[in-house]
Structure 1
Amino acid sequence: MFYEAGPDSLQWGSPMIYATTQQFGAAQGAFGRTARNGPIPWGTIPARPFLGLSPEDETNILDTLSEWLQRAAASG
């Protein structure tokens, strides 16, 4: 896993080249054709999501953000 936190943002994901295909899947031939005219990928790849937030994660994030905003508004 990979994350990058900034003063006003947070990004998370994976630095692996295949992560998008793993997360969302890909249709046969979605990435073009080989030199021998075969489809890339040769078959449909189903989505196998590994990134995301559970309902509990969403609640915790929103609670933390709300607390931070309340402190920021009170101080400024």
Structure 2
Amino acid sequence: MAGASISIDYSFPDKAIAARLRALVDAGEDLEPAFIDIGEGLLNSTHDRWDQQVDPESNPWEPLDPKYQARKKKNADKVLVLEGFMRDTLAYNTSSQSMEMGTNLIQGATHQFGDEDRGIPARPYLGVSEDDEQMIIDTLYEHFQDALR
């Protein structure tokens, strides 16, 4: 092999150890069951934060511009809520090696990152809070624990 490489060989004369190690490797090759649980957890926590109008670090979203708020007919006291449609488009997709979450609405990026040219501040709604991080760790731990049972 040209360049540099690394090889790890794991072979054990003890069949029980080899079987358990193989189970861990297999569990690492198909993380979709864990990613589904993680996706559900992140979706729930994102919905909760949306309802509380805070970012993943629990900072309140930037308030609405008073001029916009004055002409807003519905939900004038709510940020990122007109009809409640965008919140309900949040979804996740999983595979054996990945999980992604977001919205397919173009304004989702504007609200997440802001738009200086139009005077729209960033109001992050996607992200991983400390509680989310712990949920992810716990879920992955459980996934690999299940593989050893």
With the shorter chain as reference, the TM-score category is 0.5 to 0.7
Unaligned runs of at least 5 residues, structure 1: 29-42
Where do 4+ consecutive residues of structure 1 move more than 6 Å? none
Unaligned runs of at least 5 residues, structure 2: 1-89
Say which structure, 1 or 2, has more relative contact order (CA 8 Å, 6+ apart).
2
Which one of 93, 97, 101 corresponds to residue 8 of structure 1?
A: 97
Q: Aligned residue for 1:44?
A: 119
Q: TM-score, normalised by structure 2?
A: 0.36
| Higher Cα Rg, which structure | 2
Which one of 57, 70, 73 corresponds to residue 132 of structure 2?
A: 57
For residues 21-65 of structure 1, what are the alpha-carbon distances to aligned partners after superposition, in whole Å with 9 as ceiling and x for unaligned?
A: 10010121xxxxxxxxxxxxxx32100111122211110111111
| CA drift at 1:68 | 1.8
Higher strand share: 1
Which one of 106, 116, 133 corresponds to residue 17 of structure 1?
A: 106
| CA drift at 1:71 | 4.2
Structure 1 Cα separation of the partners of residues 115 and 144 of structure 2:
40
Higher helix share: 2
Give the root-mean-square deviation of aligned CA atoms.
Answer: 1.7
Tell me how many residue pairs correspond in the alignment.
60
Aligned-pair identity (%)? 42
Structure 2 Cα separation of the partners of residues 4 and 27 of structure 1:
30
